Structure 1
Amino acid sequence: MSEPLSGNIATYSSNDVQFALPKLVLSSGCLLWYTFIWSLSVLGCRAARKRYRLQPRSPLASASRTSAPGVSILRPLKGLDTNLYENLESTFTQEYSNFEIFLCVADEHDQALGVVRDLISKYPNVDAHVIIGMSISWLESGSDTVGVNPKVNNLMCAYKQAKHDILWVLDSNVMVVPGTLARSVDALIGPPNSKPSSRRIGLVHHVPFAWATEYALGSRLEEAFLNTNHAKMYLAINAVAIDSCVVGKSNLYRRSDLERVDGSLKPSSSRPSQEGLPGERGLAAFGRFLAEDNMIAGALWHELGLRHDLSCDVARNAVGSMTLSAYVWRRVRWVRVRKRMVFAATMVEPLTESILLGGLTSLALHHLAGVPHWLFLSIHFTLWLIVDLDVFASLAGYSVPAGSRLSFISAWSMRELLALPIWLLAILGNEVEWRGRRYEVLRNGEVRRVGNSNFTLWEWLTGRTKPQSDYYEPLDIAQD
């Protein structure tokens, strides 16, 4: 009996020695990665505190019309978005003396036109224009368009007619405070005593801040995601500023800069001159992308060597009654787009989320130091939540109200649990649904329209197509 026992002990000891080094390396690597992610989290939290807890009034807010740089505000519209009247009115009431507004719809029967006309009547002294650029028949036939992106097509007429070089493009679901434009122009033009050697700011953007007008489950999840983890990492990446990272809810840039880029992301000095070639530079060049905002920012960064900046304002996103499935498919869509644009970053994304990161680090600490899993995970999730709540307070200007704190934390917990399943679902396909149309995401984030012949996982599971509304631009979807 003693001989087999001795043999088993010897075998076990040999295997233990064989795997000891790989386990040590993996555990140490996990701890280093955990430290790196926490460094980014703390950086994002500090950036939120520093940038958003104080909003000074810009001198441009009281500057005369002749001394304030002119700005053309472009707002693409489609249907009666949640809070549409207040969203659009926030541009009419900017504390700035030299701006014009273009309110753009593709169809003369669009429901948003009633709201637009009411605001123009209410503010007759504001230089506002209604642009009815395209009809649905034009979009379907492909004529008079610059690509498959309906937002870019919708903006082209206003882009050509704008009389100012500085453009401010805001989505229809965005509301901003009156001082946003002045502070954003301050950030774009920079201080008068800036060093000549410093790189010029080519784009000013604003971190999105979701607020739900109707508290459906998806709406709560969207708030918990955008106002905590997303904002935290967004601010951290922009603080490090090693590459472009922009969400296009509210972007300010110069048309003269945009006319010099083509979306190739190759430095302009390394490309042959393409002057005079129609449709290959400027806004029209980005009609082939679904995430045109991100690509414009990337082009300004990589092709012209310009940099980005954030003002101390947020882009307040009004979220309507978003269902759970709408939230899931919205997240799936943008993971699939990012997968084609920044593949490596998208692949490691699950390792930045609290549950998978915490679980792996717990295993590593237990192996290296015998730390109980329950102890580490309790501390890990508590600190993660505290940091996220602090980011929320910085962006909102107030802490989560006591009356809704439990529901917010519940939504936050559910968002964390859903992060990995949503990512896995997104990785399995390349087709997305946006504004009632289906697209296949191609290399570098370009897209092409596809028909409805291929079933998605949603259709296979439910026997019907998934909801087509975006919940940021939910109504008046074009009929094929």
Structure 2
Amino acid sequence: MSPTWIAILHGLGIALAFAAAGYACVALWAILRVPRASAARIDYRALRPVTVLKPLHGAEPRLYENLRSFCVQNHPSYQLVFGVRDPDDPAIAVVERLRAEFPGRDIALVIDPRVYGANLKVSNLLNMLAHASHDWLVLADADISVPADYLARVTAPLADAGVGIVTCLYHGVPGPSFWSRLGRLFIDDWFAPSVRLSHAFGSTRFAFGSTICLRRDALVAIGGLEALSNTLADDFWLGELTRRAGLRTVLSDVVVGTDVAESQLKALWDHEVRWLRTIRSLAPWGFAMTFVCFTTPLLVLGLCLAPGAVTLALVLLGGGARVLLHFLQRRPRDDAFAWHDVLLIPLRDALLLMEWAIALAGWQVKWRGQVLHARGDGSAP
């Protein structure tokens, strides 16, 4: 190999190591700067009545526990509306169990197969919205678990007329399988830090299905849920349309839990590639540069291309930041915590890099039996 090519590869190696180490350090900074959840007292007398919309599809492994966490909120006045499209959906039995357990709770069950567009979840929400009693609304996915003060805390910012939506980040709640634990690291070690980093630099261009709170007037201002009937990332577009209407997005200090139930590599791969292609459809140029987030393989590649003291120092710096970030994202209250999950970091980062490359190669995603095409305009016909 000619000296010129050797110099080029050496420079590339240092650049890759520098980029990976730099991202890991900045992501660590973003996590360290997040204030701990506020212990400020809540004036429960000032809270407005709230309707929670929970679209359901099938009896997921921890569905009862997750839905029950919404039944034991300390909010003084709220309604729960659960919705399914299929009258034989096994989730109905879970809702009926909760109705029997909490006879004093305002719980509605909507069974309605009507479809309004390509996004069946939005169709479900549209069918449910007609049964909502209150003007403050909370939309939350079925696989979300929340603390008892969740509703009071996440809805409080809606009192400001300039707020469009309030949304929540989430941490992974793994099942017993190895692949589920690996999937938890996708959320905790990659996705959440990337959002924190974006937010630290002033961006609020996000909204998550884990929680979206908004007032009915804000929903009407963007054309209602009908405006989302053919979108793939309906949660993102609900936030984006309110931002375009001049309203602010608030990232709550509440972090909720989301189940990671995949027990096989294929299921995990398909789920994460769908997520990544959806992200790519929303920010294609930014997504193309996210390879710098996959710390371990880039550091190893950089050291192989440019062995030496400078690259080694970058590897130690980036690797140390990556490990520290992993432990900072663990929660003492998390029963599934295992210190040896740190050993999964190289596999997790390498798998993410491969999924990122596959996500770049196409637009097709599979979701609940549907084959959809993620495109930059958000449509999914």
Q: CA deviation at 1:338?
A: 2.1
Q: CA deviation at 1:109?
A: 1.4
Return the alpha-carbon distance in structure 1 between the equivalents of residues 281 and 73 of structure 2. Answer: 37
* Greater RCO, 1 or 2 (C-alpha within 8 Å, sep 6+): 2
Question: In structure 2, what is the equivalent of residue 42 of structure 1?
Answer: 28
Matched, 1:93 2:31: no
Distance verdict in 2 for CA 1:34–1:244, change over 3 Å: same
Question: In structure 2, what is the equivalent of residue 341 of structure 1?
Answer: 282
Which of residues 194, 199, 206 is equivalent to 1:233?
194
Distance verdict in 2 for CA 1:33–1:321, change over 3 Å: closer
Distance verdict in 2 for CA 1:212–1:391, change over 3 Å: closer
Return the alpha-carbon distance in structure 2 between the equivalents of residues 27 and 222 of structure 1. Answer: 29
Q: CA deviation at 1:106?
A: 0.6
SS of the residue 2:103 aligns to: coil
Return the alpha-carbon distance in structure 2 between the equivalents of residues 412 and 27 of structure 1. Answer: 21
Which of residues 377, 385, 407 is equivalent to 2:323?
385
Matched, 1:283 2:262: no
Question: In structure 1, what is the equivalent of residue 134 of structure 2?
Answer: 164
Matched, 1:409 2:342: yes
SS of the residue 2:377 aligns to: helix
Q: TM-score, normalised by structure 1?
A: 0.72
Return the alpha-carbon distance in structure 2 between the equivalents of residues 292 and 70 of structure 1. Answer: 25
Distance verdict in 2 for CA 1:250–1:183, change over 3 Å: same
Distance verdict in 2 for CA 1:399–1:31, change over 3 Å: farther
Matched, 1:176 2:155: no
Which of residues 426, 439, 442 is equivalent to 2:359?
426
Residues 6-25 of structure 1 mapped to structure 2, 5 A cutoff = none
Q: CA deviation at 1:243?
A: 4.2
Question: In structure 2, what is the equivalent of residue 314 of structure 1?
Answer: 255
Q: CA deviation at 1:222?
A: 1.1
Residues 115-264 of structure 1 mapped to structure 2, 5 A cutoff = 115-134=94-113, 144-189=114-159, 200-213=162-175, 215-261=176-222
Runs of 4+ in 1 over 4 A off after TM superposition: 22-36, 359-364, 372-375, 396-401
Tell me if the contact between 1:188 and 1:309 (Cα under 8 Å) persists in the aligned partners: no
Which of residues 52, 56, 60 is equivalent to 2:39?
56
Return the alpha-carbon distance in structure 1 between the equivalents of residues 111 and 288 of structure 2. Answer: 41
Structure number with greater Rg is 1
Tell me if the contact between 1:84 and 1:172 (Cα under 8 Å) persists in the aligned partners: yes
Amino acid at match of 1:255: R
| 5+ long unaligned stretches in structure 1 | 1-10, 135-143, 191-198, 262-280, 449-480
| 5+ long unaligned stretches in structure 2 | none
Tell me if the contact between 2:294 and 2:350 (Cα under 8 Å) persists in the aligned partners: no
Distance verdict in 2 for CA 1:399–1:436, change over 3 Å: closer
Return the alpha-carbon distance in structure 2 between the equivalents of residues 347 and 78 of structure 1. Answer: 33
Distance verdict in 2 for CA 1:399–1:132, change over 3 Å: closer
Matched, 1:106 2:85: yes
Tell me if the contact between 1:71 and 1:168 (Cα under 8 Å) persists in the aligned partners: yes
Tell me if the contact between 1:217 and 1:324 (Cα under 8 Å) persists in the aligned partners: no
Over residues 358-411 of structure 1, what are the superposed CA-to-partner deviations in whole Å (9 max), with x where a residue is unaligned?
3566579x58xx526445424421321112211223xx556984xx322x1233
Q: TM-score, normalised by structure 2?
A: 0.90
Q: CA deviation at 1:224?
A: 1.5
Distance verdict in 2 for CA 1:286–1:177, change over 3 Å: same
Amino acid at match of 2:339: R
Amino acid at match of 1:157: N
Question: In structure 2, what is the equivalent of residue 300 of structure 1?
Answer: 242
Q: CA deviation at 1:241?
A: 2.6
Return the alpha-carbon distance in structure 2 between the equivalents of residues 300 and 25 of structure 1. Answer: 45
Question: In structure 1, what is the equivalent of residue 50 of structure 2?
Answer: 71
Q: CA deviation at 1:339?
A: 2.0
SS of the residue 2:230 aligns to: coil
Return the alpha-carbon distance in structure 2 between the equivalents of residues 28 and 358 of structure 1. Answer: 9
Over residues 16-62 of structure 1, what are the superposed CA-to-partner deviations in whole Å (9 max), with x where a residue is unaligned?
9xx97x889978976875575245313331244x13xx4526424xx
Amino acid at match of 1:92: C
Distance verdict in 2 for CA 1:372–1:37, change over 3 Å: closer
Aligned-residue identity in percent: 23
Return the alpha-carbon distance in structure 2 between the equivalents of residues 210 and 188 of structure 1. Answer: 27
Amino acid at match of 1:37: Y
Over residues 259-313 of structure 1, what are the superposed CA-to-partner deviations in whole Å (9 max), with x where a residue is unaligned?
212xxxxxxxxxxxxxxxxxxx111110111110011111112x12222223232
SS of the residue 2:254 aligns to: strand
SS of the residue 1:444 aligns to: coil
Return the alpha-carbon distance in structure 2 between the equivalents of residues 28 and 378 of structure 1. Answer: 13
Count of residues in Structure 1 that have an aligned counterpart in Structure 2: 380
Tell me if the contact between 2:207 and 2:238 (Cα under 8 Å) persists in the aligned partners: no
Return the alpha-carbon distance in structure 1 between the equivalents of residues 349 and 250 of structure 2. Answer: 29
